């Protein structure tokens, strides 16, 4: 017998067993073809899925989505700045209130008057005198 290509079908010259050998060889070739087809389709589907995923990752968002995102970011920034300003104003007012409570001063007071005024405010009441 001559060496054959893998796709060729073997045909015997003997007339007795022609049908049996041809069917066996044909079945083997058909099984190999179906296996190859299955492998090709599975590999092709997996490769197609991978390509589709890469395309979806690389796809840029639409202009309307980008505009909505930008608007949301601007609103969030504005809100954070307002909250920061409110916190700073609250701290500033708290410091001013504490300063007013501790140092009741008038404009033009001398240092001696300031200390005398503090000493007058810090005196404790004498309950024995009552």
Does residue 127 lie within any of the structural domains?
no
Distance CA 79, CA 70 (A): 14
16 and 53 in a common domain = yes
Distance CA 85, CA 93 (A): 12
Q: What is the mean pLDDT of the chain?
A: 73
How many folded domains does the chain comprise? 2
- HSE-CB for 114 with a 13 A CA cutoff: 10
Q: Residue 123 is inside which H or E element, if any? A: none
* Contacting residues for 87 by C-beta, under 8 A, at least 6 apart: none
* pTM of the predicted protein model: 0.34
Does residue 5 lie within any of the structural domains?
no
Does residue 116 lie within any of the structural domains?
no
73 and 52 in a common domain = no
Q: For the segment 30-43, what is each residue's pLDDT rounded down to a tens digit?
A: 777 787 888 888 88
42 and 17 in a common domain = yes
Range of the domain at 88: 68-102
Residue 25 CB coordination number (10 Å): 15
Q: For the segment 100-122, what is each residue's pLDDT rounded down to a tens digit?
A: 776 555 556 666 666 676 666 56
């Amino acid at each position: 017998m001559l060496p054959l290509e893998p796709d060729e079908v073997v045909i015997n010259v003997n007339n007795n067993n022609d049908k049996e050998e041809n069917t066996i060889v044909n079945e083997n070739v058909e099984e190999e073809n179906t296996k190859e087809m299955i492998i090709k389709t599975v590999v092709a589907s997996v490769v197609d899925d991978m390509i589709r995923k890469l395309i979806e990752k690389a796809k840029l968002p639409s202009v309307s989505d980008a505009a909505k995102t930008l608007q949301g970011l601007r609103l969030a920034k504005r809100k954070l700045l307002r909250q920061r300003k409110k916190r700073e104003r609250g701290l500033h007012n708290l410091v001013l209130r504490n300063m007013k409570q501790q140092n009741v001063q008038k404009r033009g007071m001398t240092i001696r008057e300031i200390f005398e005024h503090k000493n007058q405010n810090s005196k404790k009441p004498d309950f024995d005198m009552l």
